[in-house]
Chains A and B, each alone.
Chain A
Amino acid sequence: MRNPQPDSPVLSIGGRLPAAGPGAPITRLFESLRPDLLRFAHWLARDRALAEDIVQESLLRAWRYRDALKDPAAARPWLLTIVRREHARMYERKRLELVPLEDIAETYADPKAADTEDDLFALRHGIMRLPLEYREPLVLQVLGGFSTEEIAQELKLSSTAVLTRLFRARNKLRVLCGMAGVPDAAAPEAAP
C-alpha cells in the first residue's frame, strides 16, 4: 500500500512504524524484522515493489492484531505467516506474473561452474522460476524455519504433500543447476 490510510496509527512518512508511543517496543520488534519480511515477500512475489507493498500491508495487519502476539519470541514466524497470507490475498486479487521468466531462463550461468557468485545467481533465478506451489514451501522451510508440519498447517496440505513438494522443488533446482535429479521417490500428493 503506497498511500497510508488516514486513520492508520502506525505509518509514518517512509512507511515506517512509529518509534515512540505506547506501542514502541512492539514497533521496534516489527521494524527489526522488516528486512526478513521483505526478503521473504520478495521470494514469494518475485517483485521488489510488490514485496514492499505486501510487507507494508502485513505490518499494518500485524499492528491491528498485535494483542494476539503473546510471545515476542514468536514474532518472526507470526509475521512471516501474515506476510504469506497477504501475498496469497494479493496473488488472488491481481493474478500477476511480474518477472519475465524468459529473461531469467536465458541468464543461467554455466551449470558446471564452481560455487561462484554466478552460480548463486543462477540458483537464485532457479528458485524464482519454481512454480509457487514448490517455491512457497521451500522458502517457508529454508528462510522461515518452518517445520514440515507447520508448513502443512499453513498451506492446508498434508505433511506428505508438503514433503513431496519440497522434494520436487529441490530436485528441480538440482536439475536446473546441472546436477543429476534424484529418482522421484515422492508419491502422488495426498489430499490434506
Chain B
Amino acid sequence: MNCEQARLLIGADPRSGAAELAAHLGECPACARLRDEMLAFETRIERALQQPPDLSRVRARRPVAPWREWALAASVLLGTAALLGVWLLRPSDTLAHDLVTHVQHEPDSWLAAQQVNAQGIGNALHGAGVALDLTSDKITYAQSCWFHGHYVPHLVVQTAQGPATVLILRHEQVPGARSFHEAGLNGVIVPAEAGRGSIAVLAHGAGVEALAREMQQDVRWLPEPP
C-alpha cells in the first residue's frame, strides 16, 4: 500500500483494521500522524451524530453580525447604483434600438420624393404639440406615429447627403447627445433646446449630427394636446 491508498482508506474509514494499512502506518510517520488526527476527528463525528441538530436553536442563535449590516447597506447602495446606471443608459440603448426598428417598419418613407405641403406637415406636428421652423421644401415625408405611448412627428428631410429621418420625441429625455450605429443606419439622439424632450435623426449616410443641431434650433413645443 502506498501513501495515496493509505490516505484514501484513512479518510474513508479511520477505524479500518486492514493489515495492509497497519503495515504501511508502521513505515510511514506522515500517514500515521494523519491516522491519529482522523481518529480524533472521528470521535467528534461520532459524538455529533448521536444527536441531530436542534433547528430551533439555529434560528434563536442567528446573530446579526456588524459586518452583515454593512454588507446589507453596501448591497442596497450597489443595487441603487446599478438601477441608476440602468436608468441612465436606458434611453441611449433601448431608445436607439426602438427608433431603428420603427424606421425599418416604414421603408416607404425613404422613397417619397415629393415635398409634403404645409398642411401635411402641420398635421404631423400639431397632434404631437410640436412646431417647426424648417422650410417645408426639404420635407418629403411627414406622419404622426405612435411611438413609446405617444404620437410623435416622423419626418424625412432631404439633405445634401440624402434623406434623413427625424423623429421629434417630446416625452423622451436624454442627458446628452449620443450617436449610434445599428442595422446600417447612423443615428444620433440629442436633447431638444426647448428644455425637454429630444430629437432623433437617422440616415444611411453621414450628416446626422449636423441635421440634429439644426433641428435643435428649429423645434418648438406647443401646449401639449389633451
Contact = CB atoms under 8 A, between A and B. Distances in A.
Contacts of B48: 120, 123-124, 127
Contact of A185 (B5, B41, B51, B59): B5
B39 to A, nearest CB: 11
A71 interface: no
B174 to A, nearest CB: 42
A59 to B, nearest CB: 19
A125 B11 CA distance: 20
Interface string A152-192: 00000000001110111011011001010011011100000
Given A123-B44, A186-B8, A103 B51 contact: no
Contacts of B38: 170
B13 interface: yes
A83 interface: no
Interface in B34-75: 34, 38, 41-42, 44-53, 55, 57-59, 61-62
B12 interface: yes
B20 interface: no
Interface in B3-43: 4-5, 7-14, 34, 38, 41-42
Contacts of A162: 12
Interface string A39-81: 1001100101001000000000000000000000000000000
Nearest to A160: B8
DSSP class of B's interface residues: helix, strand, loop or mixed? Answer: helix
A182 B12 CA distance: 11
A42 B8 contact: no
Interface residues of B, number: 30
Nearest to A179: B41
Nearest to A166: B12
A107 interface: yes
A43 B55 CA distance: 12
Contacts of B13: 141, 148, 163, 166
B12 A142 contact: no
B49 A139 contact: yes
Nearest to B40: A115
Given A166-B12, A170-B11, A120 B62 contact: no
Given A163-B13, A185-B5, A142 B44 contact: no
A127 B49 contact: yes
A176 to B, nearest CB: 11
A122 B5 CA distance: 30
Nearest to A42: B52
B25 to A, nearest CB: 15
Contacts of A138: 45
A98 to B, nearest CB: 9
A75 B27 CA distance: 41
A125 B41 contact: no
A13 to B, nearest CB: 26
Given A138-B45, A185-B8, 20 more contacts: A39-B51, A48-B55, A103-B58, A107-B58, A107-B61, A107-B62, A120-B44, A124-B49, A124-B52, A127-B45, A127-B48, A142-B45, A143-B49, A163-B9, A163-B12, A164-B8, A164-B12, A170-B14, A170-B38, A174-B41
Interface of B: 4-5, 7-14, 34, 38, 41-42, 44-53, 55, 57-59, 61-62
26 contacts: A39-B50, A42-B52, A48-B55, A103-B55, A103-B58, A106-B62, A107-B62, A115-B44, A120-B47, A121-B53, A121-B57, A123-B48, A124-B49, A138-B45, A141-B13, A142-B46, A148-B13, A162-B12, A163-B13, A167-B8, A167-B11, A170-B11, A177-B41, A182-B11, A185-B5, A186-B12
